[in-house]
A and B are shown apart, each in its own frame.
Chain A
Amino acid sequence: MVNKKATTTKTGFFDQMASAPSTDEFIKGLWRENPIFVQVLGMCPTLAVTNSLTNALAMGLATTFVLVASNGLISSLRNFIPKQVRIATYILIIATFVTLIDYGIQATSVALHKSLGAFISLIVVNCLILGRAEAFASKNNVGLSLLDGLGMGLGFTFALSCLGALREIMGNGSLLNVQIFGEAYQEWIVMILPAGGFFTLAIWLLFFNVLKKKKMA
């Protein structure tokens, strides 16, 4: 069920890193295996809710919560879940936590809940979460799984914020709802429209590709 590519890179990774210290599990999600910029997982929320930095941060943190919680629970149950029904079990566990955070956000900020809309519920089908459950939490102990979830979640949040910040600055002339350019700034409306999402992600990927190439050369 997991993205095929992610699974294969993962096994390779475990072979090399079997004895790595636990801090590595945390750091890898932030940069070397960043879920969005490197693994290109969980694209739908990435593009849909990043029209402002606030939305991007909220979405990122909500996903992090679900990721950490489900990773922890799945890892602690890993010896009890039968192999044949594991995917269904994972999805049920994830759906439970998503329902929790959905009601949580609704209780704390109705405005935020409105602007994120159905995308909070759609965290269930974020392939990143199921991917981590299958590739990591089902094979490692609770501590490592929690760290992995936290790292991946924060990496996801970081990437979302990159997209959200760029789109809000260019499309709205503001950052976190504070105007940063003068009155004369002509907004690039296209950046906060759907098309801008595709372009912004392409630009960031291009930026990181160029960086990587420079490093190798």
Chain B
Amino acid sequence: MTHESLWQIFINASLVNNFVLAYFLGICPFLGVSGKMETATKMGVAVTFVMVISAISAYGIHKVLTMIQAPFLELISYIVVIAATVQLVEMFIKKASPALFKALGIFLPLITTNCAILAVALFQTNKGYGFLESIVYALGAGTGFTLALLLMAGVRERADLATVPGIVKGTILTLFIAGILSLTFMGFAGLGTQ
């Protein structure tokens, strides 16, 4: 068990070790869905939700697998739970808000292969977090993901209007922006330490 306070876990996961900008997790949606502010917000919320659910399930699975002494099944069971959760979220959104369902499009099922979610489950197991800590950690990670996505979307909306050399347009420009964002997030180092 760690001695971090819940607040520290949250700050650590969302700002200091931002999942996207410090750990490079969830880069695919980060580059893919960050074109518009609105989609970015919704994507962030959906990912955060799946993260929290899968963190709770991962906590349970880890307990059970330790009990039956089958740690090698961890990875497989995590991924199955995540896939099932995503399917659930997909059905829910489809029913509750068809417009949002359309806006997220292909990226909704792709949440399954968002490495940030599997990483939340794996990291919390490695760090030995308890039930409450796991939830806070997942919330922090999700917030960090949403924050990075929003910042990126904001900058990209502006960058669309700027004149840039044709050869760097698209992925390359996005990568440079991401690099600069990542540099600024380094300023948060030291915030979360005891």
Contacts and interface: CB of A to CB of B under 8 A. Distances in A.
A205 B169 CA distance: 11
Contacts of A40: 31, 171
B172 A205 contact: yes
A47 B28 CA distance: 12
A43 interface: yes
A35 interface: no
Contact of A198 (B126, B167, B176): B176
Given A121-B118, A193-B186, A206-B172, A43 B167 contact: no
B88 interface: no
Given A194-B22, A198-B175, A124 B27 contact: no
A192 B23 CA distance: 13
A215 B186 CA distance: 39
Contact of B179 (A102, A195, A206): A195
Given A1-B113, A98-B75, A124-B79, A205 B171 contact: yes
Contacts, number: 111
Contacts of B118: 121-122, 124-125
Main secondary structure of the interface of A (DSSP, over half): helix
A110 to B, nearest CB: 15
Main secondary structure of the interface of B (DSSP, over half): helix
Given A4-B106, A198-B175, A99 B72 contact: yes
B57 interface: no
Contacts of B26: 44
Interface in A179-211: 190, 193-199, 201-202, 205-206, 209-210
B25 interface: yes
Interface of A: 1, 3-4, 40, 43-44, 47-48, 87-88, 91-92, 95-96, 98-99, 102-103, 118, 121-122, 124-127, 130, 190, 193-199, 201-202, 205-206, 209-210, 213
